[in-house]
Structure 1
Amino acid sequence: MSGKCEECGQSAAKYKCPGCGLRSCGLSCVKAHKARIGCTGKRDPTAFVKISDFDDNRIMSDYNFLEEALRVADVAKRSKYKSFVGGRKPGVLKELIYQARFRKTKFVHMANGMSRRIANTTYFNRKRKCMYWRVEWIFHSTDIRLVDENLDEHVNLGTVLEKHLSPQSHSPTARHQLRDFLQQPVDQLKLLFKKELDDAKESYYELNINESLRQQLSFKTVLEFPEIRVVLPSDIDRFSIVEEEPKPVKPAASPVKSVAEELVEQTGKTFREEEIKDEEQDKEQDDMKMYDFLGDLPGQADLLWKSMEVQPPSLMNDVEDGELSG
Structure 2
Amino acid sequence: CETCSEEEAKYRCPRCMKYSCRYLISNLNCYVSCAERGILMVLYLCHFSLLCVKKHKLALSCNGIRDKTSFISVNEFTDLNLLSDYRFLEDVGRTADAAARDLSMHRPTTNKFINYLRNRARRHNINLKTLPIGFTKRRENSTIFNKKEQKFYWHLKLVFPHCHAEYTLKRVPEDKTLTDILKPYIDPVESDPVVCQRLKVYTMSPQSDVQILMKIENRKQNSIRYNELDASRSLLENLKNKVIIEYPTLFVVLKKLKKDMVVLGQ
With over 3 angstroms needed to count, the CA separation of the structure-2 counterparts of 1:176 and 1:119, relative to structure 1, is same
With over 3 angstroms needed to count, the CA separation of the structure-2 counterparts of 1:64 and 1:121, relative to structure 1, is closer
With over 3 angstroms needed to count, the CA separation of the structure-2 counterparts of 1:214 and 1:84, relative to structure 1, is farther
With over 3 angstroms needed to count, the CA separation of the structure-2 counterparts of 1:69 and 1:130, relative to structure 1, is same
Deviation at 1:234, TM superposition (A): 0.7
Amino acid in the other structure paired with 2:214? F
| Sequence identity (%) | 24
Q: Which residue does the alignment assign to 2:253? A: 231
Q: Which residue does the alignment assign to 1:207? A: 229
State how 1:42-121 maps to structure 2 within 5 Å: 69-70=92-93, 72-73=95-96, 83=105, 85=107, 87=108, 89-121=110-142
Deviation at 1:100, TM superposition (A): 1.2
**SS of the residue 1:234 aligns to:** coil
Q: How many Å separate the matches in 2 of 1:144 and 1:64?
A: 31
Amino acid in the other structure paired with 1:116? K
Q: How many Å separate the matches in 2 of 1:232 and 1:93?
A: 35
Q: Which residue does the alignment assign to 2:45? A: none
**The structure with more helix, counted as a fraction of residues:** 1
Structure 1 residue 217 and structure 2 residue 239: aligned?
yes
Answer yes or no: is the 8 Å Cα contact 2:212–2:252 preserved in 1.
yes
**SS of the residue 2:257 aligns to:** helix
Q: How many Å separate the matches in 2 of 1:64 and 1:177?
A: 38
TM-score computed with the length of structure 2 as normaliser: 0.58
Deviation at 1:156, TM superposition (A): 0.9
Alpha-carbon deviations, 1:19-38, whole Å to 9, x = none? xxxxxxxxxxxxxxxxxxxx
Alpha-carbon deviations, 1:168-222, whole Å to 9, x = none? 64454x4333112112233541000011121142211111111111111111111
Amino acid in the other structure paired with 1:96? L
Answer yes or no: is the 8 Å Cα contact 1:192–1:204 preserved in 2.
yes
Q: Which residue does the alignment assign to 2:178? A: 157
5+ residue gaps, structure 1, are 1-62, 245-326
With over 3 angstroms needed to count, the CA separation of the structure-2 counterparts of 1:75 and 1:175, relative to structure 1, is same
Amino acid in the other structure paired with 1:209? A
Deviation at 1:96, TM superposition (A): 1.1
With over 3 angstroms needed to count, the CA separation of the structure-2 counterparts of 1:223 and 1:64, relative to structure 1, is closer
Q: How many Å separate the matches in 1 of 2:138 and 2:193?
A: 29
With over 3 angstroms needed to count, the CA separation of the structure-2 counterparts of 1:100 and 1:178, relative to structure 1, is same
Structure 1 residue 186 and structure 2 residue 189: aligned?
no
Answer yes or no: is the 8 Å Cα contact 1:162–1:186 preserved in 2.
no
Answer yes or no: is the 8 Å Cα contact 2:225–2:263 preserved in 1.
yes
Amino acid in the other structure paired with 1:70? G
Q: How many Å separate the matches in 2 of 1:68 and 1:195?
A: 30
Alpha-carbon deviations, 1:102-143, whole Å to 9, x = none? 111111111112111111110100000001111111112213
Answer yes or no: is the 8 Å Cα contact 1:161–1:186 preserved in 2.
no
**SS of the residue 1:145 aligns to:** strand
**The structure with more strand, counted as a fraction of residues:** 2
With over 3 angstroms needed to count, the CA separation of the structure-2 counterparts of 1:185 and 1:162, relative to structure 1, is farther
Q: RCO (CA 8 Å, sep 6+): is it higher in 1 or 2?
A: 2
